[in-house]
Amino acid sequence: MMKKGCLAALAIAIVIGIALFSWVKNTYNNLVDQQQGVKAAWSQVENVYQRRADLIPNLVNTVKGYAAHERETLEAVINARANATSVKIDPTSMTEDDLKRFQEAQGELTGALSRLIAVSESYPDLKANEVFRDLQSQLEGTENRITVERKNFTVVAQAYNTKIKQFPTNLIAGLFNFDERPYFQAQPGADKAPTVDFSH
């Protein structure tokens, strides 16, 4: 009788152990999947910002051909681009400060581009240039993609952050150091892409 009781208790303990292991494994793997999703979404954010940075040398050279004496404005764009492309973030350990630095650098570049575009309004021949118009179209499309990818990153990061805080998943998240990820905070007008319009 005693032996049967011990075997039953052992069997129950084994079943509970297997169930617990299975839950820990599935929860851990799910968190890894979500963490990789955040990393992939960040990679897309970097890609669209890099695309914008890649367009700038051609844009600057085109403007320079028609407005060489606007040197201060052109240099501001070149310097802002250099600063923006130098800010790198490791998505596996990014902090709010990292993201703030990144946003500030990209914001400076957006401002410098806006000033360059304002200057271009004074040069009708520049605005009529085919290369310039093509760059305008590419830049506008890139700004729209930046908005889309930033939103996507925020959605993915928020979902991950919510998951690691929910009970009982938070136990596994804490045990295996799944840390919260920062994300882009919506600001007034953030639902609209920056205006990069050369056509007026």
In a domain, 145, yes or no: yes
Angle, vertex CA 98, rays to CA 50 and CA 158, nearest 5: 90
Angle between helices 2-66 and 71-86 (to 10 degrees): 160
Q: Is the dihedral of CA 57, 63, 67, 72 positive or negative?
A: negative
Q: Three-state DSSP class for 155?
A: helix
In a domain, 6, yes or no: no
In a domain, 1, yes or no: no
Domain of residue 158 covers: 33-175
Question: What's 186's DSSP letter?
Answer: P
Given the structure tokens 């993201």, which residue do they identify?
99
pTM: 0.84
Q: Three-state DSSP class for 199?
A: coil
Q: Look up the CATH number of the domain holding residue 57.
A: 1.20.1440.20
In a domain, 180, yes or no: no
> Residue 173 has which token pair?
């998240």
**What's the domain count of the chain?**
1
pLDDT tens-digit profile of 121-178?
Answer: 889 898 889 999 899 889 999 999 999 999 999 999 999 999 999 999 999 999 999 9
In a domain, 2, yes or no: no
Round to whole Å and give the CA distance between 83 and 106. Answer: 8
Structure confidence at residue 188 as a pLDDT band (50, 70, 90): very low
